[in-house]
Amino acid sequence: MYLLNIRDLYKSFGRIRALNGINLQVGRGVTGLIGPNGAGKTTTIKIALGLLKADKGFIEFFGLNPWTMGHRIKKKVGVLHEGVPLPEYLVVEDYLKYVAFFRELKEPKEAVREVLKLVGAERFKHRRIGELSAGMRQRVGLAQALLGFPELVILDEPLAYLDPGGRSELLDLIESLHRDRGMSFLILSHILAELERVCDRAAIIFRGKVIAEGSVRELAKKYQVTEYALDVFNPDLWFKYLKDLEVVEDIRLDTSKGRLYVKISDIRAFEREVHKIALKYDLYLISLRPRYGLLEQIYRKAVGDVSGEAQ
């Protein structure tokens, strides 16, 4: 059984078609839902949670209809919405106690204490939400989503407003909660390099449709990663010896960084050729890595394929 199952979901706002037959199945694990602004990510989740009404389509959480069984679903699903204001007049700890009461948690005080510690919000738990910085408010939002440790947590742009240290802490927390408590996450984000750290599955939304879905490994195989960056000493010599290789489809030299950008047809054959060149000409390779992060390359290729078909 899927934690979230969406089939043939359509939604229009006036003449604008926001969702054009979304199909999305979320199982256990950490799934990234990625796409450009306006692709339909947030609209899809709002409809799934019963906050918007679809024109047509099928939705289930844990096999339950969100429109008729919402009271059961709320105990299984935690949500961090993007940009939804928190009640500024409430003290942080009191706000979380209200949320715990709403979710009918058996030990609300202990649940609040635990999530405050997890998200690093203990130090300002007695302050009013209206007095907090954007980063602090984001931590409060994360705390309410994690209250009671629900089976599925939906996070809409959770890395927003967090500094680099805060982002790293959150990603570590997601990994540990999945590993140690078996919690699953659906993360909506455009920060692909950091999302890549925690996701084992991904779905790409573009123009109101899911255009690719599967494990990151499956998607990487389907949308073959072909663009690599080489950091080297003597970049001019490397360029000279690499440009005519059969596996090299395109090559560009950035002398200011001592870096080559190469598009290749076969990574293993290319690695063998690089090793031969280094030995033969006594050249030094600092690093060979994908030009973009793995998720970003998958995204670029999937969107590029769809855009090409539409032309």
- What confidence tens digit (pLDDT) does each residue in 184-238 have? 999 998 778 778 888 999 999 999 999 999 988 788 778 777 888 899 999 999 9
Distance CA 185, CA 195 (A): 12
For residue 191, the 8-state DSSP code is: -
Q: Name the pLDDT band for 163 (thresholds 50, 70, 90).
A: confident
Please, which residues have CB within 8 angstroms of residue 62's CB and are 6 or more apart in sequence?
1, 3, 73, 76, 151, 152
Residue written as token pair 């290749």: 264
Residue ranges covered by each domain of the chain: 4-217, 224-309
4-217: what CATH class?
Answer: alpha beta
Distance CA 266, CA 224 (A): 9
Distance CA 212, CA 207 (A): 12
Q: Which option is the CATH number for 224-309: 3.40.50.150, 3.30.70.100, 2.30.30.40, 3.30.420.40? A: 3.30.70.100
pLDDT tens, residue by residue, 245-284: 999 999 999 888 889 999 988 888 999 999 999 999 999 9
pLDDT at residue number 309: 57
Distance of CA 175 to the CA centre of its chain: 13
Please, which residues have CB within 8 angstroms of residue 84's CB and are 6 or more apart in sequence?
141
Same fold for the domain at 4-217 and the one at 224-309? no
Residue written as token pair 């990510």: 41
Mark out the alpha helices in the chain (DSSP H runs): 41-48, 70-73, 92-102, 108-118, 134-146, 164-181, 192-195, 216-222, 235-242, 267-281, 294-310
H/E stretch holding 154: strand 152-156
What percent of the chain has a predicted confidence (pLDDT) above 70?
Answer: 99
Structure tokens at 266: 């076969």
Judging by beta carbons within 10 Å of its beta carbon (0-12, 13-18, 19+), is residue 126 exposed, middle or buried? exposed
Range of lowest pLDDT (8-12, 37-41, 65-69, 93-97):
65-69
